[in-house]
Amino acid sequence: MPKRHWTYVDDPLALGERLKEARERAGLSQRQLAFPGCSAVYISRIERGERVPSLQLLRELGRRLGVHEDYLASGEAPPQGDPLLDAEVALRLDQVELAEHLYTQALERGGGDVTRGRALAGLAQLAAREGNLDDAVEPLEEAYALLGDRSADYPAIPETLGTAYAMRGEFESALAVFERALELARQREDEHEQARFQILLANTLIDSGNIGRAEEVLGQTIGQAREATNPILRARIYWSQSRLHAMRNNHELASRYARKALTAIELTEHSYYAARLHHLLAYIELERGNASEALDLLRDGFPLIEEGGNAFHQAQFRLEEARALARLGRHDEAADLALRILPTLEEFDRGDAGRCYALLGDIFSELGEVDRALGLYDQALEHLDDRAATYIRDVYSKMAQLLEQEGRKDEALEVLKKALQLGVEAARHV
**pTM (2 d.p.):** 0.54
Is 340:332 a contact under the CB 8 Å cutoff? no
Each residue's pLDDT, cut to its tens digit, for the chain (430 residues) gives 343 445 567 788 999 999 999 888 878 899 989 988 889 999 999 999 998 888 778 888 887 887 777 788 888 655 445 667 778 877 776 777 888 888 888 888 766 778 888 889 888 888 877 777 778 888 889 988 888 888 888 888 898 888 888 877 788 999 999 999 989 888 887 777 877 788 788 888 877 778 778 777 766 666 554 555 566 666 777 777 787 777 777 888 788 777 777 776 665 656 666 777 788 788 888 888 899 999 998 988 888 788 767 788 889 899 999 999 999 999 999 999 999 999 999 887 888 899 999 999 999 999 999 999 999 999 998 888 766 677 888 888 899 889 988 898 888 888 888 777 765 454 444 4
C-beta contacts of 53-59 below 8 A and 24+ residues apart: 55/8, 56/188, 56/189, 56/190, 58/8
Instruction: Collect all residues with Cβ–Cβ distance below 8 Å to 57 and sequence separation of at least 6.
Output: 37, 38
The contacts of residue 200 (CB under 8 Å, 6+ apart) are 159, 162, 163, 178
Packing angle, helices 133-147 and 113-129, rounded to 10: 160
Residue ranges and CATH numbers for the domains of the chain are 1-78 (1.10.260.40)
Reported as type and span, the H/E element at residue 47 is helix 40-47
CA–CA dist 250, 288 (Å, integer): 10
292 — phi, psi (to 5°)? -65, -45
